[in-house]
Structures are given as C-alpha cells and as structure tokens.
Structure 1
Amino acid sequence: MQYQVFSDAFHSYGFRCPKPLNPFLNLDLFHMSKPTFPPHPHSGFSAITYLFPSSEGSFQNRDSFGDRSLIEPGSLHWTQAGEGMFHEEIPTELGTDCFGLQMFVKMPAADELSKGQAFHLASDTVPIVKELGKEVRVLTGSYGNMSSPIQSTAPPFLFLDAHLSPETDIRFQVKKDVITLLVAVVGNIEVEGFGSVAEHTVMVLQGEDRDIKCNTTTSKAEFLFLQARHLAEDYHWMGSLCLSTKERLESTFSKLRAGALGNLSPSF
C-alpha cells in the first residue's frame, strides 16, 4: 500500500493535487464571511462546495444555467461544469462565518464536454449512518446501508463526512485501483499501520485492496473520506478552465472570449 501525508496542504490557495492524483485537482478548507469571487467560468471539471454542519453561515449559489440553490450548513452543492458555465457562491449574510470545503474534481475526457449540470443535497436529506460514538454523513456514493441521492456524477465519487467521539474507531475499505484521501478537518486521527493525520492535513492511500482502521485518542475528530477511480489522463489549465488536451483547452478559451460559455451578472 502506498501512502503519503501532506502536512502543509492548506495554504493560501488550498491543496493543489499532484497530477498522479487525477481526478482530484484541488481542495480548500475555507472560512468566508463576505463575497470573494465574482461570477467566473469553469469547464472540464466539477466544483464541489460542502458547508460543514458546524458552519455559522450559509451560501447562495447561482449559475448561468439558472440554478439558484441555498447551501446551508451540512449541505453539498456539486457544479458539474462540463463544456462550460459561470457560477457564483457568496455568503448569504455579511459578517457571518461560512466554514466549508471546496474541491475541484476532473471530469473524464469522454465526459468533459458534456452539458453542464448541478446537483444539490440539502442537509436534512443527507443519509447518516450512526453507531455508538460515530456518525458518517453520506454525501455521494454509498456507505453501510445508506446511499446518497447523488449517484450520477462524473466520475463516480465517494464523499463521506465522518465524526468520531474520543477513543472511537471506524473502518473503511481501500481499493487498489482507486485513490483515497483522508482530510482531517477537526482534531487528529490515527490510521492503523500508516501513522497520524493531524488537523488540516491530507493523507493519500492507494495501491492495494484492504481495510483501514481510523481512530481517535483523547479528543473528538471530524474528517472527510474521499474516493475516486484514478484517471490515467493528462490535463491542462488555463485560469479556471481545465481540459484533457491543449487543443480542447484553447478551443474552450476561444468560446469563453466569444461569450459562448454563458454569462452571469455579479450580485455584488
């Protein structure tokens, strides 16, 4: 089993994932209390926003296809940009802290030019697996006897938010052809046989079919368990566009300049 710990992952611009971790492109744990980014385009990947249940504030999401979604604490919004769309996400109340994760996930080359769409999962519809001292919120994919209503993202994706009480452990399955990320949000966790994952640290696991055991010692912990099948494809960036080939990237950028990726008026 190969593993790597990124202890300085969340700097000013988040964790830009190395290319061998494709489809994972970028992860950012954020605190936001005022509008930061005006409407901006994406293409070729999905922009996922999850507000942690402990977040004080909520987000308003808008996109150029007409989606208007309130992202409340504990809610997930998945913007699958495909061939291209504009979107904007801002706090609904100035001065109230919004604590969450934004993640970019590359779409496979076969799907990256499909029509964009948005998936939304409200907090009160998130399936939750509860056992003594532990709780797992199933945001996408399946865990235990629970499955998320969001099942059709490209690529298929497992996104779990795990909460552990002190001196509690939990097991997960790691697969050799899948990239697994553990993201410690609050507190520290120990991964048996692989060491510790400190708060705001990312551990990457891949290369073998096996179970892993995660546990806490003296404090409670919250961490994310993320899995996606490895995409053995290249990709290229240009601003907020990310496509599998330079030719597709240049073509998409030309469409952006011509106004063919849509438009969204700023709300601030």
Structure 2
Amino acid sequence: MSLSFSSSVPARKKVHSDGFSYFSLTADAFGGLVDPILNLDHFRMSERPFPPRPFAGFAAVTAVLESSPAGFIGRDHLGFRAEIGPGGFYGLVSGKGMVAEEKPVPSGQPCEGIHVSINLSAKDKREPPRSFFLAPNDVKEWKPNPALRGRVYLGKLAGAESKAALPSPFSFFEFHLRPKMSATPRVLSESGGLVYLLKGKLRLSSGDAVVPLEAMHAVGFASGEKDTELLVESIEESHFIFLSGKSLREPAITHGGFVMTKQSEIEEAIARYQAGEMGKLDSEG
C-alpha cells in the first residue's frame, strides 16, 4: 500500500522581531495528512521571543542545527534547565499543564533550529508534564556510507534508536544526502508526517506516486493500514527533516499555548493556569 501525498507547500517567512524570525508550516496547509503534527517552524533567534508562558495538551520539540552559531536555554517551572548546543535536542510534553520558556544563550550569536509542535491524545493531555534534552553527543546517527547520514532525535532508524520518546510513537530524523543518493525511512501504519527540505532538491515516491521537492518547501504524507517505506532520492546535495507519527484523528482546538479537543477544555485550562495550578516561572536574566 502506497502513501498519500500533499502537493509541495512553501514555508512562509514570519518576522516576530529583529531578533526572532522563522519559516512556518502549519497542518492546515497539508489537507489533513500530517496529523498529529500541528506545525513546524524553521527559526533563527538572537533574542528571547517570549517570556515564560503556559502550555498544555501538546508536545514541542526543538533540534538545534549543527551549523547553528549558538544554542539556547530551555527551562520549566518544575526545575528543569538545560543549555542545548548546536546538534542538541530539547522537548517538552506539556500534558495537563506547565510553564516554560526558550531563550538564546547570552553570547549574542543567533540560534538556528527546527521547532515542531505535536498534538497529544486526549488521554495524554491529562498526564503530568515533563521536559527532556539530548546533548549533541547523545543524538544517535545512522551512517551506512559516506554519502548518507541520518540523525535520530526521536524514533528508530535502522539500528540507531533515540533515548528520547513522546507518549505515542513519533519519528524525527535529520538527513544529509550527497547527490544521487536515497533514503527509505519507514512510515508506520495509520500515520501522518512530512518532509521539509532545507537545502537541495529531492524526489519523493511511494508506489506510483512521485512528488518533487525544492528547498524551503515541504510535502505531507499519510499511510494506510500497513507500514510502508518512503523513498527519498536526492537530485543534488540535500539536507532535510523527516517527521512521522501515529494519527490521532481527534479535534485540535488551539488557544495560545493550549491544545485541547473541546472549547470547554480550553476554558478549563485557562482557569487552571490562572489559579496557579500549572506552576510559575519567573524571567531569568
């Protein structure tokens, strides 16, 4: 059984301030194929974009590109604090609610990375929150030959398996391919995902379906009742992100940092935050 593909979708540039801009892709641009992914932001940050703020009902993960001049600091109200350097990985599973922030390290150098928001199931929205990170040396790599390298932030790629995990199966891989090479990441049954191309030119295929992909664009996909492989071929030297997770097929109602299945749950989350039940985190530095 082959994958269903969206058309190629351009990432839209957005400028929050002089010190924070990003190229954005949102789930609604892919016709429902990328569930459970909510959005992907390819960002560049040299100043704090937001103060500490509340989150509930989804997971957020960030990979700092190896080429990034600097990293960032992730913190939450539970006492987690880590500096994530180039090549590192950070995530939070907000569950029933937490207060957290991400800010650049005080070097003055920008941080460039990929930030992905992922919906949680209705059950997992009620679980306690947590944060985690992987140092650059803790990120597993798959290098079958000198022309192909894959970094495994979440999930398993061939024999390389991440130490980090979300409540439901989710894969987050970063690939570097030389020209005329291919990779075949596995897509589990009943899953949605996307490929975002940072650099180069690719051809994606599954069965008889073929989709070309240019830099700063993405293609969404969804699988059926069986696991399948996505064939990714590089026309020229390419750098891309592969994301895939089990589809939830549940409503996703968003309000600020809250993602719930019903409007009444949004209102409940706001009330819990205002009552102090999601904790408190003061600004740092």
CA distance in structure 2 between the aligned counterparts of 1:143 and 1:160, rounded to whole angstroms: 8
Let me know the Cα RMSD of the aligned residues.
Answer: 1.7
Give the letter aligned to residue 54 of structure 1.
S
The answer on 1:85 being equivalent to 2:98 is yes
Q: 2:158 maps to which residue?
A: 144
Matches within 5 A, 1:67-216: 67-132=80-145, 133-151=147-165, 153-192=166-205, 193-208=209-224, 209=226, 210-216=228-234
The answer on 1:53 being equivalent to 2:66 is yes
Q: 1:249 maps to which residue?
A: 266
Report the secondary structure of 1:103's partner residue. Answer: strand
CA distance in structure 2 between the aligned counterparts of 1:183 and 1:266, rounded to whole angstroms: 33
Q: 2:281 maps to which residue?
A: 264
CA distance in structure 2 between the aligned counterparts of 1:5 and 1:41, rounded to whole angstroms: 34
Cα drift, residue 83 of structure 1: 0.8
Aligned 8 A contact 1:174 1:212 in 2: yes
Aligned 8 A contact 1:23 1:107 in 2: yes
Give the letter aligned to residue 135 of structure 2.
A
Cα drift, residue 136 of structure 1: 0.6
Q: 1:17 maps to which residue?
A: 27
Among 1, 4, 11, the alignment partner of 1:2 is 4
Report the secondary structure of 1:11's partner residue. Answer: strand
Cα drift, residue 17 of structure 1: 1.0
CA distance in structure 2 between the aligned counterparts of 1:99 and 1:186, rounded to whole angstroms: 14
Cα shift readout 1:145-195 (whole Å, capped 9, x = no counterpart): 1111113x1222111111111222222233441112111122221214422
Identity between Structure 1 and Structure 2 (%): 26
Report the secondary structure of 2:114's partner residue. Answer: strand
Cα drift, residue 93 of structure 1: 2.9
Report the secondary structure of 1:5's partner residue. Answer: coil
Shifted more, 11-20 versus 130-139: the winner is: 11-20
Q: 2:19 maps to which residue?
A: none
CA distance in structure 2 between the aligned counterparts of 1:198 and 1:108, rounded to whole angstroms: 33
Gaps (5+ residues) in structure 1? none
Cα drift, residue 10 of structure 1: 3.3
CA distance in structure 2 between the aligned counterparts of 1:207 and 1:108, rounded to whole angstroms: 19
CA distance in structure 1 between the aligned counterparts of 2:91 and 2:127, rounded to whole angstroms: 15
**Structure 2 length as normaliser, TM-score?**
0.88
CA distance in structure 1 between the aligned counterparts of 2:56 and 2:8, rounded to whole angstroms: 27
Cα shift readout 1:220-258 (whole Å, capped 9, x = no counterpart): 211111110111111211211111222221111111122
Q: 1:42 maps to which residue?
A: 55
Cα drift, residue 5 of structure 1: 3.0
Gaps (5+ residues) in structure 2? 15-21
Shifted more, 50-59 versus 164-173: the winner is: 164-173
Aligned 8 A contact 1:7 1:201 in 2: yes
Aligned 8 A contact 1:127 1:138 in 2: yes
Aligned 8 A contact 2:35 2:193 in 1: no
Shifted more, 123-132 versus 166-175: the winner is: 166-175
Among 206, 226, 251, the alignment partner of 2:243 is 226
Give the letter aligned to residue 10 of structure 2.
D
Give the letter aligned to residue 216 of structure 2.
H
Q: 1:236 maps to which residue?
A: 253
Report the secondary structure of 1:226's partner residue. Answer: strand
CA distance in structure 2 between the aligned counterparts of 1:11 and 1:66, rounded to whole angstroms: 34
Cα distance change on mapping 1:231 and 1:100 into 2, 3 Å = same
Cα drift, residue 97 of structure 1: 1.7
Cα distance change on mapping 1:93 and 1:188 into 2, 3 Å = farther
Aligned 8 A contact 2:57 2:95 in 1: yes
Shifted more, 90-99 versus 140-149: the winner is: 90-99
Cα shift readout 1:79-127 (whole Å, capped 9, x = no counterpart): 1011111111111134312110111111100110211001211110111
